[in-house]
């Protein structure tokens, strides 16, 4: 698996496949990895260059990082995009990855034509919702694995595929505690600051594909973004791209084409 060093020297693993003038860059969420996009990579590689990233501390990437901030994860994404020479990209981020891709886009406006968040961006203006969740669960470094097993269950619906929920719970609860807990603290800090300013500075269309459980406040989003819209999927929990990949891939394909039209001034 190829790697590239991030700004702080941590090796970042990635996969690049497909070809085309437009690159789709997939960024996973907290305590996950690039394999969570395995139903999207082959589907989209027929028409686009497709890049999936393991953020530092996740998957096959290095773990020797001093500060686990969402901004440092954005550096990981930027390093990969530069390494594979993506000249024109749509960044696609699940959950925490939506925040990360927005921050990454600020570093390379000449390479990014659009952003697509996946079950994310319910909180654009400052909020302490993440801190409250961590505090309410009594999460600590020592009990991190137990906390994650309980916390991850809330991502699924009663009707969700039990095999999938079991896999995700096992994955997320087995993440390195020193990484996972530090990232939780980093997320709490990031959400306290909000992403509104970044939305205002990113001069490209921003879209979301969310579970119908996680509604985005359109008034707030459009107050800060140049162009924002959201599509909803019903009958799925947080991992929309894994729970119903057929519907998700169709919506993502539509959304990518809408962004291309926006950038070309044809819609």
- The answer to whether residue 132 scores a pLDDT higher than 90 is no
* Percent of the chain predicted with pLDDT > 90: 90
- Are 172 and 196 spatial neighbours (Cβ–Cβ below 8 Å)? no
Q: For residues 59 and 129, what is the distance between their CA atoms, to the nearest angstrom?
A: 27
Averaged pLDDT for residues 108-134:
93
Give the residue carrying structure tokens 């891939």: 249
pLDDT for 250:
98
Residue 25, CA atoms < 13 Å, CB-side half-sphere: 34
Nearest by Cα to 210 from 116, 146, 142, 140: 116
Give the residue carrying structure tokens 């686990």: 68
Q: For residues 203 and 69, what is the distance between their CA atoms, to the nearest angstrom?
A: 23
pLDDT tens-digit profile of 149-208?
988 999 999 999 999 999 999 999 999 999 999 999 999 999 999 999 999 999 999 999
pLDDT tens-digit profile of 66-109?
999 999 999 999 999 999 999 999 999 999 999 999 999 999 99
pLDDT tens-digit profile of 203-232?
999 999 999 999 999 999 999 999 999 999
Mean residue pLDDT of the chain comes to 94
Q: How confident is the model at residue 261 (pLDDT cuts 50, 70, 90)?
A: confident
pLDDT tens-digit profile of 39-75?
999 999 999 999 999 999 999 999 999 999 999 999 9
Averaged pLDDT for residues 2-12:
97
pLDDT for 266:
43
Q: How confident is the model at residue 265 (pLDDT cuts 50, 70, 90)?
A: low
Second CATH level (architecture) for the domain 3-126+194-264 = 3-Layer(aba) Sandwich (3.40)
Long-range contacts, 224-227 (Cβ 8 Å, 24+): 224/124, 224/125, 224/196, 224/197, 224/199, 224/200, 225/199, 225/200, 226/202, 227/262
CA-to-CA dists, residue 11 to 72, 86, 99, 106, 206, angstroms: 13, 19, 21, 22, 29
Nearest by Cα to 1 from 85, 67, 80: 80
pLDDT for 267:
41
- Are 267 and 255 spatial neighbours (Cβ–Cβ below 8 Å)? no
Name, in order, each residue with C-beta under 8 angstroms of 46's C-beta and a sequence gap of 6 or more. 18
Q: For residues 172 and 154, what is the distance between their CA atoms, to the nearest angstrom?
A: 13
Q: Rounded to two decimals, what is the model's pTM?
A: 0.96
């Amino acid at each position: 698996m190829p790697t590239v060093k991030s700004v702080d020297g941590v090796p970042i693993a990635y996969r690049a496949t497909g070809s085309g003038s437009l690159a789709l860059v997939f960024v996973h969420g907290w305590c996950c990895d690039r394999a969570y996009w395995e139903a999207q990579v082959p589907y989209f590689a027929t028409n686009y260059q497709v890049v999936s990233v393991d953020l530092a501390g996740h998957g096959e990437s290095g773990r020797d990082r001093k500060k686990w901030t969402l901004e440092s994860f954005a550096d990981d994404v930027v390093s990969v995009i530069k390494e594979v020479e993506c000249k024109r990209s749509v960044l696609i981020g699940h959950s925490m990855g939506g925040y990360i891709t927005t921050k990454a886009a600020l570093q390379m406006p000449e390479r990014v034509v659009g952003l697509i968040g996946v079950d994310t961006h319910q909180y654009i203006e400052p909020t302490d919702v993440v801190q409250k969740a961590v505090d309410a669960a009594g999460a600590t470094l020592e009990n991190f694995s137990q906390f994650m097993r309980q916390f991850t269950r809330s991502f699924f619906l009663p009707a969700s595929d039990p095999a999938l929920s079991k896999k995700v719970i096992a994955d997320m609860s087995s993440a390195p505690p020193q990484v996972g807990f530090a990232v939780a603290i980093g997320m709490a800090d990031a959400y306290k600051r909000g992403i509104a300013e970044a939305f205002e500075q990113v001069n490209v269309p921003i879209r979301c594909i969310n579970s119908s459980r996680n509604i985005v406040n359109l008034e707030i989003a459009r107050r800060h973004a140049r162009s924002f819209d959201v599509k909803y999927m019903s009958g799925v929990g947080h991992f929309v791209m894994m729970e119903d990949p057929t519907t998700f891939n169709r919506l993502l394909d539509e959304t990518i084409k809408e962004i291309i039209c926006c950038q070309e001034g044809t819609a």
